[in-house]
Each structure stands twice: as structure tokens, then as C-alpha cells.
Structure 1
Amino acid sequence: MPVNLKAPVAQDLAPIAGVRIGVTEAGVRKANRKDLTVFLLDEGSHVAGVFTKNRFCAAPVQICREHLAVQGAIRAMVINTGNANAGTGTDGLARANATCDALAGLLKIDAKQVLPFSTGVIMEPLPVDRITAGLPAAIADAQPGNWAKAAEGIMTTDTIAKAFSAKAVVGGKTVHVTGISKGAGMIRPNMATMLSFLATDAAIDAALLPALAKQLADQSFNRITIDGDTSTNDSFVVVATNQAGNAAVTDWNSADGQALMAALRDVAQKLAQAIVRDGEGATKFIQIEVEQGRTEEECRQVAYAIAHSPLVKTAFFASDPNLGRILAAVGYAGIEDLDQTRIELYLDDVHVATKGGRNPSYEEADGQRVMKQQEIIVRVQLGRGAANTTVWTCDLSHDYVSINADYRS
């Protein structure tokens, strides 16, 4: 069961003018499940994306990068679940391109105006015939209000769909932001085995979008980890349809820019946190705050050392305040000149360690009280400067092993 996460309500998700979404059952891997989704974008939309840093990236990731580099507006996206089309060599590239060709032919656009996305089992041939056969039904289903349906259609091992909306006033106009994501395992920054699609009707200078996509990812999806594995297919795409009627945002430091950025960041962070809350086998949602570092980078090193530690994560699952594991992770994070006598450690309101040792007033019963909670904040102070960062993770349970042992069956 996901940790304090509810399924999206379709009526709560704002349609985005200029975006229509269609979902169908193509039988990519299993029958009777939504597994093929298309996004149809009006002319004048701008698109940018960031992708996995795994060098063994999937064929659709390679194609997306190529198509985004071409000077031509993206008009459609196609997403299949059940098959990752990764580890498939030149045949996989041909199949991804064939998918783009098929959708482009139906829409009467250029194939380079299509972005393909796949998620699922690695090293199996993409059943492109089933996908292309399903495209007419997906197109026929396309409508602005299908965000919740699409959130369900891109799931793999997720137990719940993930979708959120926000709005802001920009240039006197109300603009909307809606996004969906999938992901529950093989999650680690740069990015994760996740797909996420975020769209706004706000007008934004096209030149700002590539940096915007990276900034939003760095503030959300690149701050989560479930199991420390970096996937082959990670993709986060931002779409601006420019249909809200506001004057185009050209400066994020302006009042309009800050209002829009807050709404975009809100949706991106909720989507990222939803992935952690639905982590495979997760029973607890953990926020790790590292403060007083010299740089944000060293704060991230410490945060991820804690978040990736199997010993820390299993202690959280067991509600066992074996908090020396956290201190050990801080110590091996890679800060060579770290002074352990400056370390302070808190679990929520409980001051566990001070000056690198056990706080004399700390009682194990207090630590256990916090460890039993579904949501926990771990706060580490390094005593080295003013930098800080936050990372979100979960515990590691018996179910994680079972889910991944049975993944292909």
C-alpha cells in the first residue's frame, strides 16, 4: 500500500488547453490493461526534456534526444508500458522509429515531431505491430480531460496512479499546470525508472524550456531514491502550449516568473514524492534534510549515503532506532575533512546525537516513537557552513524483494 497517497480524482486534474490525451489497450505485454497512451499537442507548443544518465539508455531515449535536437516543433508523444525497448540494439532503434513513423502517418506530421517513450521489461523486442495496431484507438480516444486515465495507462509496478494539478496567476491570466508520473522501483537520481509528463497552458519563451526542465528535475525527481538503481528509460518532459493568453514569461526572477515556477515546482515535487510513497514494498516515507554543509553537493553526498544505505532503510522498516547506522552513513559519504564532533542528528523533534555522540538526554523510547511513524524527517547538521539540501526516500521491506523477484512472471 502506498504511504499516505491517494489515487487522483479525474475532476481535480485541470485540462491543459492545447493537449489532448488518448489511452487504449494494445496488449503490449498483458491483455486487458491500459498500456498505450498518446499525447497530441497543438501547433505552437514548446517541448523540452531531461533523460537518464545511464549509458545503456533505451532506444526511445535515444530517439527522443535526436528529435528534440531537431529544429521542428514536437506535435505528439507515444508511451507504451510492458516493454522498455532497452538492451535491444539497432533492432530496438528501428522499432522505436517505426512507432514514430506510424503515429506521424496517422497525424500527417513528420516522424521527427513525435517523441516515443517505453517502460517495462528490458531486453525483449518491442511488439511494434501491436503498438501500431492500437494507435488509431488511442487517437480516437484523445481528449483534454484524460489525465487520470493516462496516469493509469503509464503504470508498471506502481500500485496507484500519480497525477497532480496547480494553477497560478501570470500576467493577469490564470494558468494551469498538470502532470503525471510513473515509477515505484529502480529509482535513483539521474533520474529513475520513471516517466513523467508535465504540461502548462502558460506562454513561456521557448528558449527557457530546456533549462526549466533540468531545474525542475533537479528540484524534484533528482532528489528521490528508492533502491539506488538508475534505470535505462527515465524521461521527464515539460510542455508549454502557450494558450493561456499571458504575455510570455521571459525571466524567472520576475513576479510572473516566480508565480509560474512555484506552480510548476509544486506539481513536479508532488509527482516525485508520490513515486517514493509508492515505492515497491514501501511502508514509510522519509525526508532527509542535511544542513550546514560547505556546498550543496556535499550535503547531497551525505543525504544519499543515508538514503541508499540498506542498513538504514531496513532499520526504518523494522522501526528499530539503530541510529548508529545513520551516523556511519554520514561518515562514509566521502567528505574527507568531516569533523565528527560537529555532527548533530535529529529524528523529527528528537535530538539523537550531539557533537558526534549520543545526546545525554536521548531516550530510545523517543527514537522508537518516531521510527514507528509512517512519515519521518531525518535532519543532519554538519557544522561546516550554510548550504543545505533535501532528499526523499522510503524504507526497504520484504515485499521489495518479492516484487522484484517476480517482476517478469
Structure 2
Amino acid sequence: MVIVKGGVTAAKGFEAASAGAGIKYQGRTDMALIYSKKPCRTAGTFTTNVVKAAPVKWDRSVVESGVKSQAVIINSGIANACTGEEGYGYCKETAAAAEKALGVEAEGVLVGSTGVIGMQLPIDKLKNGIREMAENKNASLENGTSAAKAIMTTDTFHKEIAVSIQVGDKTVTIGGMAKGSGMIHPNMCTMLSFITTDAVISKKALQKVLSEDIEDTYNMISVDGDTSTNDTVLLLANGMAENEKIKYKTKEYEKFAEALHLVNEYLAKKIAGDGEGATALFEVKVIGASTKRQAKILAKSIVCSNLTKTAIAGHDANWGRILCAMGYSGAQFDPEKVDLSFESKAGKIQIIENGRAVNYSEEKATEILSQPEVAAIADIKEGTESATAWGCDLTHGYIDINADYRS
């Protein structure tokens, strides 16, 4: 497996474009297009929030129908959530406009929206953006990057990655882009992720590989505990690598799954580390668990604790907050067996052993916790299972951003 340059245009046959349609933002791009020269098998995972945005309902219907797709249209600034029949109608109009501009089947057009909830899309501006992108799309890595930038809202940087693997004598590439900074607590992930591949792969294998992998990637991140109305991950495969078809649970499937995991984990960690107002990526590893589920519950509880996140923001080794978060997680463990350490590029330091503080240097702990990437490792000494969750520190910046988000 090799990391290669680019994002959604790295795989064969995929093109991208962006446009500044003025949907909400001014002076920047706010629409993106992903286009495939050949129709794609699709897979998707979506928010578990009962309040689902119109694009989520639309995309889920497209994915479940089995119809092939050639285009994804995404806008930022307005989420098209809580917009009723009118909002869902705009999904239909978007698909129809894409059909006209790109020559693709409207029933297979996928859509994505992110931004303010409750506002209706300015559909005429959106249609103008589609026409502009249809004229400017190409397969360059630069266009892939511009698409990744166009879908940002409060993100401070764009997020993209691509990897290649060998399947038989063919090179298969997977590329992806994502956005997410606030309202991040996926359960399926406002986060959006779009992944392209030129692999020949069965529809069953494509959906299985995505559904299984999000449990250890996007569903293990949290910024603020809010599960969005728009959380969506879409995976498109156009088959242009011309490899032998990848089927579920084969050796080739496992190889593809490993590559997809790298893409998803990279994007998930970038989302977590770019949390609104954040200054650090906070990684939590729970080891020595008796079951994977126990480890996941404990890790997620720690990474979601506001008191723990503020301690990380203050570079304070307040380990009691971590043990407390483990205690109310719902997972059973013996607190008098827990070892806890902090780690970063500044070093590693053990804070507690068997549930009690050890003699450690507060100055060294502060140095370790002052780095842009910080990890907490909790060993509960019950077994061999482990899990990792990712989040960020909680700062005044989060309030500053969200107190006036609509304006």
C-alpha cells in the first residue's frame, strides 16, 4: 500500500470541479462536483439522528436502489435540513440540473449539503454553479483539492488523501475528501466524506467494507457530542482499474479494506483535530480490555468528556476527570487496576498505577500535554482487546464560533 498525491481525482476516471455560487459565503468557493467517466457502484452510511436532512434521505434512497451514479453535487453554507418537501424537491432539481449539464442519469445523482439548518437553498444559484462546474471539471489533482476546499464550513484546512494497492497485476487507487469541524459525534458521521475508487468490486462488498470500517474510524471521533442531521459517507467505485472483481471476505477484499481503513482513519483524525476552536488532537487508547465493545465504550466516554477536554486545553494532567469519565461510561471495569499515561512527541509519562497517582513531574506532564497531538493510554488489565477514539481539546474558541454561527 502506497500513499499517493491527491484526493478524489487520484483514482482513474474521476474528475472534480468547484464554484463560487454565493449560496451563503461570499468571496470563496462553496460548491463541489465529483464526476466519474463511467457509472459507479455506490455505498453509503448516514446519520442516525431522527432529524435527517433532505440530502441524507435522497442519497440513502439512491444507494439502496442499486442504481449506478456518475456525479455528486455538494454545497456548503446551507444544510438543507428541516426544509420539508421544498428542500427535498431541491434535491430533485439539483439532480435534474446535473443530468442536463453533465449528461448523466438524474436518478443516480448524489447530493450533499452542509451549513446552517432551516434555511432553504437558493436553487437558481445552485443550478448556475452546476453549469459552471460542468464546464470546468477535469481530472487534475488541483481540481480535486479545490473541491475539498469548497465543501469546508468552519474547517480551518481542507482534508484529502489517496492510496494505491495492487490487486493481481492491476493498480487500484482509493481517494477521499472530507469536511467537519463542529457538530461532530458520528453515529451511522456536520461531517461529510466522499471516497472514490477505480476498483472493480461487487455492490455487496462495497457496502460491507464501508459499513464495517466506519465503526473504527468516523464513529470513534467526537468534537462536541452533537450528531449532525447531515452526516454522510459515500463511496463510489467505477471499475476502471480493470482488476479481477473483489468479492466479500476474499483475500483481495481484506487488502482493499485495509487501504480504505487508512483513508477513513486519516480523514477522521483530521476532522477530530480540526474541531472548532481546537488547539490539539486528543487521542485516547484503551488497552487490556476483555472485549472490543468495552474498550470502545471507555475510549469514547473519555474523549467526549468536556471536563477532560478542557483539561487538555489547559495542559493539565487532571487524571481524575479521565477516571471519572470511564466510571460513568456504562462499561464495567475495576478502577483499582487502571494504569494511565500521557504521550506526545515531547515524551511519555505515567500518571496513575492501579488507580492511584504515581510520583510524576507536573512540569513534564504539562510539556507533554502542550503538543498539537496528545494521547492518553488507559490500561484496564482485563484482556487483550483495545480501541482508539479521537477528539480535541475544548477552548473558548468553540463558543466564539458557535455563538454567532448563523451570522
Q: Is this a same-fold pair by TM over 0.5?
A: yes
Equivalent of 1:299 in 289, 295, 298: 295
Q: Which amino acid aligns with 2:350?
A: H
Q: Report matched runs for 1:35-46 at 5 Å.
A: 35-46=30-41
Give unpaired runs (5+ residues) of structure 2.
none
- 1:331 is the counterpart of 2:312: no
Q: Helix, strand or coil: the match of 1:370?
A: helix
- State yes or no: 1:24 paired with 2:19: yes
1:43·1:73 contact (CA, 8 Å) conserved in 2?
no
- 1:100 corresponding residue in structure 2: 95
Say if 1:282 and 1:242 are closer, same or farther in 2 by CA, change over 3 A.
same
Q: Identity, % of aligned pairs?
A: 35
Paired with 2:49 and 2:7, the residues of 1 have a C-alpha distance of: 35
Aligned in 2, Cα 1:258/1:69: closer, same or farther, shift over 3 Å? closer
Offset at residue 261 of structure 1 (A): 2.4
C-alpha contact (below 8 Å) 2:172/2:198 kept by paired residues: yes
Change (3 A) 1:128 1:10: farther
Q: How does 1:148-187 map to 2 (within 5 A)?
A: 148-187=145-184
Residue matched to 1:123: 118
CA distance in structure 2 between the aligned counterparts of 1:72 and 1:331, rounded to whole angstroms: 47
- Paired positions, count: 398
Matched, 1:398 2:396: yes
In 1, the alpha carbon distance for the partners of 2:260 and 2:298 equals 27
Which consecutive aligned stretches of 4+ in structure 1 deviate over 6 angstroms post-superposition? 9-13
Separation of aligned partners in 1, 2:56 and 2:306 = 30
1:42 alignment partner, SS class = strand
CA distance in 2, matches of 1:376, 1:366: 13
Normalized against structure 2, the TM-score is what? 0.93
Deviation track 1:243-265 (CA, whole Å, cap 9, x = no partner) reads 112111124441x3333322221
* TM alignment of 1:131-150, pairs within 5 A: 131-145=126-140, 146-150=143-147
The answer (yes or no) to whether the contact 2:20–2:27 under 8 Å persists in 1 is yes
Cα contact 2:185–2:224 (8 A) shared by 1:
yes
Measure the CA separation in 1 of the matches of 2:10 and 2:171.
13
- In structure 1, list runs of 5 or more residues that go unmatched: 1-8
In 1: Cα distance, 2:8 partner to 2:215 partner: 24
**TM superposition shift of 1:55:** 0.7
- 1:35-89, CA deviations, whole angstroms, 9 ceiling, x for partnerless residues? 1122222334211111111110101100111112224211211111110000112
3-state SS, counterpart of residue 187 of structure 1: coil
C-alpha separation in 2, matches of 1:133 and 1:13: 23
TM-score by length of 1: 0.93
Output the CA distance in 1 between the equivalents of 2:42 and 2:7: 24
Letter paired with 2:167: V
Q: Is the 8 A contact 2:20 2:28 kept in 1?
A: yes
Query: Could you tell me how far 1:373 is from its partner in structure 2?
Result: 2.1
Partner residue, 1:354: 353
Amino acid at match of 2:194: F
The structural deviation recorded for 1:112 is 1.4
Contact kept? 1:104, 1:113, Cα under 8 Å? no
